[in-house]
Amino acid sequence: MTRKLGFISILLFIIYAVGMYYYIFHGNSGGIPDVLKGTVADPETFMTERELLLSEEYSKIKNFIFFVATPLEWVLYIFILLTGLSRIFEKWADFGVKWKVFKNGAYVFLLYLFTALAFYPLDFYRYYLSKNYGINTQNFSSWMRDYVIDFWINFGTTLIIVIVLYWLIQKSVKRWWIYAWLLTIPFAIFMMYIQPIVIDPLYNDFYPLKDKELEEKIISLAERANIPSDHVFEVNMAEKTNALNAYVTGIGENSRIVLWDTTLNSLTDEEILFIMAHEMGHYVEKHIYIGIALYIVSMLVGLWLIAKLMPWLISRFGTVLKINKMKDIHSLPLLLLIVSFLLFFSNPISNYISRYQETRADHYAMQLMNNPEAAVSTFQNLSKSGLSEVNPPLLVKLFRFSHPPMLERINKVAEFLEEEQ
């Protein structure tokens, strides 16, 4: 039965990977509708022939990696369970310490290290790919430094969650998911609060905007939007990437709007002000707080599903997966498998909500700025800098795009002008 389940898992993954390969590399791409060819939305009007070629190649490779990476993670978790590696890690973690919390912590470290090493070649290839296509400018030592920081931050977060989760399962097999959900609320808010001041500075330097003339323009724009302007920062990203970006982060007094220095160096003041107006739209419409509320609801649904699915899978396949009880720490790969599965298939929903919010922020920026030329040129420059697909295939849009494709964003400018006339 073990071999059969392993064989079926690998076979299904191969069939899926081949199917996705043909869909992405040989299927019908998004393309440009005939009615929009030659307009400002057509990448042929603002990208060179080489940029168009690189954009198509880079996007297809990235999309394929995305669609096979998560199912490959599922195969890895199944492998760890079927081969008994999870039970072996549990034995290695039992180094004579009586306190179970330390044994569980050691197990989590062994499992996390194993999975990190297993996926390192893919992570490195992503780095190599973005560097080869001129997106990433980071040298290997700097990338490895960030990779190690990522490892320890993610491990630390995972460790806290797993230790608390399995303690709750030990205390209440039936109601653990409710207690876990209640704890996720303050934990999520705490993480969002410390993100800008504790975690982000581990990777880059953040400082108030240096360009005082531009700062005055931003202050004036913020006053028109009734937004505090002392939370605008720039970050030194030029040593790591050629891409352009800006974002809103943090909550409460730690909330801030962050501009990459690549954005400041590459765009005109009017284009930067449009981006700032877009980020102000997120601020005004409370998208961060809406995001927290949606996260809380999704966690409730997700934990409830885990509480239903995991016991059923153990009762049905526990012998094959070498899991006796849900409360045993060696069941963690199964829990992670379910979480990964739920997250992957919830992507279309979360991305749809995100695209809606981004559209709202774009509309707010166009109303505040009333500068359609700046809006169009900003979207064009964002596409060029990241070699982005302006109109991706449907599955790619559903599963990958948290922002509307650039074709849609540029079209929204035209629709906005029609509304205003």
pLDDT for 75 equals: 95
What is d(CA 404, CA 358) in angstroms, rounded to the nearest whole number?
7
Q: Give pLDDT tens digits for 25-60.
A: 987 766 777 777 777 777 888 888 888 888 889 999
Concerning whether 42 is annotated as a catalytic residue, the answer is no
DSSP state for residue 241 in the 8-state scheme: B
Q: Give pLDDT tens digits for 280-324.
A: 888 888 888 898 899 999 999 999 999 999 999 999 888 898 998
Q: Give pLDDT tens digits for 239-280.
A: 888 888 887 777 767 777 788 888 888 889 899 999 989 988
What DSSP string runs through 311-376? HHHHHHHHHHHT---TTSGGGHHHHHHHHHHHHHHHHHHHHHHHHHHHHHHHHHHHHHH--HHHHH
Over 70: is that where the pLDDT of 383 sits? Answer: yes
Q: Please report, in range form, the residues annotated as the binding site for Zn(2+).
A: 278, 282, 358
Report yes or no: 246 and 257 within 8 Å, Cβ to Cβ: yes
What is d(CA 182, CA 193) in angstroms, rounded to the nearest whole number?
18
Q: String of b and e for 46-85 (b: at least 16 CB within 10 Å)?
A: bbeeebeebbeebbbbbbbebbbeebbbbbbbbbbbbeeb
Listed by start position, the domains of the chain span 2-203+287-403+412-420
pLDDT for 188 equals: 84
What residues have CB less than 8 Å from 412, skipping those under 6 apart? 359, 362, 363, 366, 404
Over 60: is that where the pLDDT of 22 sits? Answer: yes
Cα Dmax for the chain = 76
pLDDT band per the 50, 70, 90 thresholds, residue 228: low
Q: Give pLDDT tens digits for 147-159.
A: 999 999 999 999 9
Name the catalytic one among 234, 279, 389, 408: 279
More confident residue, 255 or 408: 408
pTM: 0.90
H or E element that contains 307:
helix 287-321
pLDDT for 347 equals: 95
pLDDT for 229 equals: 60
Give the three-state DSSP class for 326.
coil
Concerning whether 362 is annotated as a catalytic residue, the answer is yes
Tokens read off for 210? 């240096």
Q: Give pLDDT tens digits for 154-201.
A: 999 999 999 999 999 998 888 999 999 999 888 888 888 888 888 888
Name the catalytic one among 200, 362, 389, 408: 362
pLDDT for 418 equals: 64
